[in-house]
Amino acid sequence: MDIRTKSRREFMRYLATSPVVAAMAGMDFANGATAAMSPADAIDIFDLKATAEVNIPLAHWGYLETGVNDDETLRANRKAFEKYYARAKRLVSVADVDMSVEILGTRWPTPIILAPLGSQRGFHAEGELGSARAAKSRNHLQILSTVSSTSVEAVAEARDAPVWFQLYTRGGWEDVKTRLRRAEAAGCPAVVLTVDMAGGPDARHTLKRAIREDVRDCAACHEGSGIAAQGKPMLGGMSGDTAEMDLTWEFLERLRQETKMKVFVKGIVTAEDAEKSIEYGVDGIIVSNHGGRADESGRGAIESLEEVAGAVRGRTTLFMDSGIRRGVDIFKALALGADAILVGRPYIYGLGAFGQVGVERALDILTQELRIAMQSFGTPTLADIGPHSIGKF
């Protein structure tokens, strides 16, 4: 975290506690974002981000915002969207816009899915339960992280509908099977195997610097007798090593044989791996570079989507995440072949800013922006969005 970011954060904290803050609510902050005094004040996702930065503890903010090494891939995820432009069809009736999409036999009102993102109580006391209640309120599919700070059973209850379960392999095969059984018992229809974290988190330098600068005593949360004491109930009672298993194609086949849930693979970024995923019978692929947190490829995820979609050619369900911040970003991803998209940081900005109602506001913003994009470009349904809807500079 550089000195400009730190100074901006301190200034915004001052404003948040200042008696004149109401009069300054319209002040223009860096990158055009304005700290929102209420969810309704947030014009876009970046306003929610500005507010969340004030509220979230420094080390936790570093965890949320970190990339790898100098964050090149994290930045590339946003810059890569600028390489594509939308192509509009005119004189098309867009009075009625239908954003609904069918995923594994269930019809959802939008293609916007809440991505798995762990430790959400580190951003707001409501944590994953606040996100789940917002997903229920706005009827969005939610995927829960293995390193959630709330159990899959509690999140499914709060969502009042099945959630999907994202799988890390920490602890060995027996522990993996225990997690699969819990997810199945909680009604999860799909498991999402994340395959892009072989290098581990040690290269997250922005996080390391934020931890160094955070003056709080964090021992109560991050030390204790075992994983459960650290607030990761889906890892509680691990019997084996805390390291991740070595992920191979053989592991994927073993997973498919072990569970009745549909199996998605998250972290595919090349045509070759997409082809092989289909050969191994996956039910879906998620193009993702972990929001720039996994490796320093320097490549934007939307560019990987273009490559992967060209290989998939509609033969399996295809999602994309990493870098999406606006409705037009979603439109571009759909035009390049994604059936739906995942967002992580955008809804966590809402959570960190205002809890459940902030998540609802984030989802409303993205939904409305996607609706406007579809109207602007003459595509009243998702089926109308296709290769003709996009070009590349």
Could you tell me the two tokens for 260?
A: 């009745």
- How many residues appear in the chain? 393
> Helical H runs in the chain?
3-17, 45-55, 58-65, 72-79, 127-138, 152-159, 173-185, 205-213, 219-222, 249-258, 271-279, 301-312, 327-335, 345-354, 356-376
Q: Are strands 106-108 and 112-114 parallel, antiparallel or unpaired?
A: unpaired
Task: Give the rounded distance of the alpha carbon of 92 from its chain centre.
Answer: 33
290 is an active site residue: yes
Distance CA 347, CA 123 (A): 11
Torsion 311-317-322-327 (CA) sign: positive
Q: How far apart, in Å, are the Cα atoms of 252 and each of 145, 248, 302?
A: 18, 7, 25
Q: What is the DSSP letter of 240?
A: S
Q: Please state the φ and ψ torsions of residue 53, each to the nearest 5 degrees.
A: -60, -35
Considering the candidates 60, 124, 140, 290, report the single residue annotated as catalytic. 290
Catalytic site residues? 290
